[in-house]
Homo-oligomer: A and B are copies of this chain.
């Protein structure tokens, strides 16, 4: 057996052996980047969702599953500051195509339309067991504005674009409320929605990228502890996150209190929030707050600071402990 990280390293090594004028950035970022013309680059991303691993049809309606399959890929384009353009869909069904696939397609193509993304190709094949959905999205970005994971420098502030851990708490609620008709109620719905129907932050990503203030950016798909460790590793820096700065929703606090769960696990290690994580120099703070409030009506949050060295550390009062890569690894679940 090879670990997931070794496996990706192997693919990276193969990719790194290639020399090309055409290739700007291969594996190791949210998207691969290819030259299109003098001013524009193409962005490529692919993601696979497996039944029983990434989704469960007991609580994920086909319509929302369709939206999510689009959203997680749109989020990778958003994380580079790009505009999604075209999409290819490939689905493997074990027993032929179920009739609910029509609802899946309504959700999938509806979300693509919301982001002016064309569905241009598709393939359905017979699977052996379980449903496997692969999506590829190609986007574009002005090459001056693309945000990679590699630009963070010591002294930068670390930002996130919204509360963390909601999707992980939502998944927990889905799992626990399986036996209760109707599922979770009221404010809890916000958490369930974060898991079932995440929003790809394409507009926000573009605003941040065009600001010229963002030095490194990615989306949070595997949890803050893991994804910030990736960003630091790609930039050759370390990070200190202040626990008290982490944005947490009231709903998450309530569920954690009611269930006697320590919320920091969801916040640091829960995957699938699809918030954007970025760094910028401290001098850019006011302008960044103003831009995001004006253009997308959204508050953004400083959670810590990039430091020299390596590793991601969580600082809580006088304690400081390493949390690098303490995220959600699908192979360890």
Q: List residues of A whose CB falls within 8 A of some B CB.
A: 1-4, 6-8, 10-11, 14-15, 18, 20, 22-23, 26-27, 31-32, 34, 36-37, 44-54, 85-86, 88-92, 95-99, 101-102, 105, 109, 113, 118-130, 132, 134, 136, 138, 330-331, 333
Contact = CB atoms under 8 A, between A and B. Distances in A.
A48 B20 CA distance: 27
A109 to B, nearest CB: 4
A8 B128 contact: no
Given A7-B97, A15-B122, A32-B121, 15 more contacts: A1-B99, A11-B89, A14-B119, A22-B85, A23-B118, A34-B120, A44-B136, A46-B88, A46-B90, A46-B134, A47-B90, A48-B92, A48-B132, A126-B333, A130-B130
A57 B233 CA distance: 36
B88 A32 contact: yes
B44 A127 contact: no
29 contacts: A1-B95, A1-B97, A4-B96, A11-B89, A14-B119, A22-B118, A23-B86, A23-B118, A27-B119, A32-B120, A34-B85, A34-B120, A36-B36, A36-B37, A44-B120, A45-B88, A46-B89, A46-B121, A47-B90, A48-B125, A50-B125, A52-B128, A53-B126, A90-B134, A127-B132, A129-B129, A130-B130, A132-B132, A134-B134
B124 A8 contact: yes
B97 A127 contact: no
A2 B96 contact: yes
Contacts of A130: 127-130
Nearest to A333: B126
A125 B271 CA distance: 14
B129 A86 contact: no
Interface centre among A14, A27, A120 (most CB of B within 10 A): A120
Contacts of A126: 50, 53, 330-331, 333
A139 to B, nearest CB: 12
B15 A50 contact: no
B98 A1 contact: yes
Contact of A119 (B6, B26, B91, B121): B26
A53 to B, nearest CB: 5
Contacts of A102: 2, 10
